[in-house]
Amino acid sequence: GEQVEQLPSILRVQEGSSASINCSYEDSASNYFPWYKQEPGENPKLIIDIRSNMERKQIQELIVLLDKKAKRFSLHITDTQPGDSAMYFCAAIDTNAYKVIFGKGTHLHVLP
């Protein structure tokens, strides 16, 4: 079935450095790629997304890149802060279908 591979599963970075999470997908019909952040004890929340007509999108310290040919997309957090410590989920979606296929998640730890 359709899968989204997300790596790494655990990521530890020093405060102030950057963090990168990579996802790949199988379904070439996927055209929408959201990222969700889940803080401990909280519900997952959308933090940034990118559609297939874009290659790069930035919201403050969050950058997402999309390579449609390689079927890969990534999240980059620049200047990480303790508040960035959380679980991050990527997803790939075919907007003509109903399915949201999530990756397994990346547990980001920002170390002081």
Partner 1 sequence: DTTVKQNPRYKLARVGKPVNLICSQTMNHDTMYWYQKKPNQAPKLLLFYYDKILNREADTFEKFQSSRPNNSFCSLYIGSAGLEYSAMYLCASSIGTASAETLYFGSGTRLTVL
Quick one: 65 or 92, whose CB is closer to partner 1? 92
Quick one: 78 or 94, whose CB is closer to partner 1? 94
DSSP assignment string, 27-74: -TT--EEEEEEE-TTS--EEEEEEETT-SEEEETTEEEEEETTTTEEE
Q: How far is the CB of 15 from partner 1 (least distance, A)?
A: 26
Distance CA 107, CA 66 (A): 21
The site for partner 1, by CB under 8 A, has a size of 27
Binding segment for partner 1 (CB under 8 A), chosen from 53-61, 65-73, 77-85, 95-103, is 95-103
Distance CA 59, CA 98 (A): 26
Q: How far is the CB of 14 from partner 1 (least distance, A)?
A: 25
Q: Which of residues 5-64 bind partner 1 (CB under 8 A)?
A: 6, 9, 32, 34, 36, 41-46, 49
